[in-house]
């Protein structure tokens, strides 16, 4: 009868060992999934942050270029207006000189 109990005990140990191995594999699988689940969102957040920084820099660069273009256009317009103003001042000076001559001759 001791063989009977020894056989049952050996079989019980095999079943227990088998259950323990299954449990350990499930734990390892869950740990692996948990690790992947924790790592993937972190990398996604990093990639999203870097993408946002790159996009922000591109928008800022485009805004700076647009502002520079507009300032250049305003400066060109100012130079042209300055030239026109100089011509007007010269014409007015000539007209004033002619008026002075006309007024002197009438007196």
Is residue 53 helix, strand or coil? Answer: helix
Q: What is the pLDDT of residue 36?
A: 57
- pLDDT tens digits, 37-65: 566 777 888 999 999 999 999 999 999 99
Query: Terminus-to-terminus CA distance in the chain, angstroms?
Result: 156
Q: What is the pLDDT of residue 37?
A: 58
Q: What is the pLDDT of residue 4?
A: 52
Q: What is the pLDDT of residue 82?
A: 96
Q: What is the C-alpha to C-alpha distance for residues 21 and 31, in angstroms, rounded to an integer? A: 15
Q: What is the pLDDT of residue 18?
A: 87
Q: What is the C-alpha to C-alpha distance for residues 22 and 29, in angstroms, rounded to an integer? A: 10
Q: What is the pLDDT of residue 28?
A: 85
Q: What is the pLDDT of residue 1?
A: 47
Residues whose CB is less than 8 angstroms from the CB of residue 90 and which lie 6 or more positions away in sequence, other chains included: none
Q: Which residues of the chain have pLDDT under 70?
A: 1-7, 33-39
Q: Please state, as a whole number, how many other Cβ atoms lie within 10 Å of the Cβ of residue 52.
A: 10
H/E stretch holding 17: helix 2-106
């Amino acid at each position: 009868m001791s063989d009977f109990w020894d056989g049952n005990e050996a079989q019980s140990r095999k079943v227990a060992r088998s259950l323990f191995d299954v449990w350990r594999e499930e734990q390892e699988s869950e740990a692996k999934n948990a690790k992947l689940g924790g790592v993937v969102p972190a990398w996604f957040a990093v990639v999203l942050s870097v993408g946002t920084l790159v996009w922000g820099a591109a928008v800022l660069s485009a805004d700076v270029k647009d502002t520079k273009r507009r300032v250049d256009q305003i400066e060109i317009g100012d130079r042209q207006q300055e030239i026109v103003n100089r011509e007007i001042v010269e014409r007015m000076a000539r007209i004033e000189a002619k008026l002075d001559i006309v007024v002197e001759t009438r007196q």
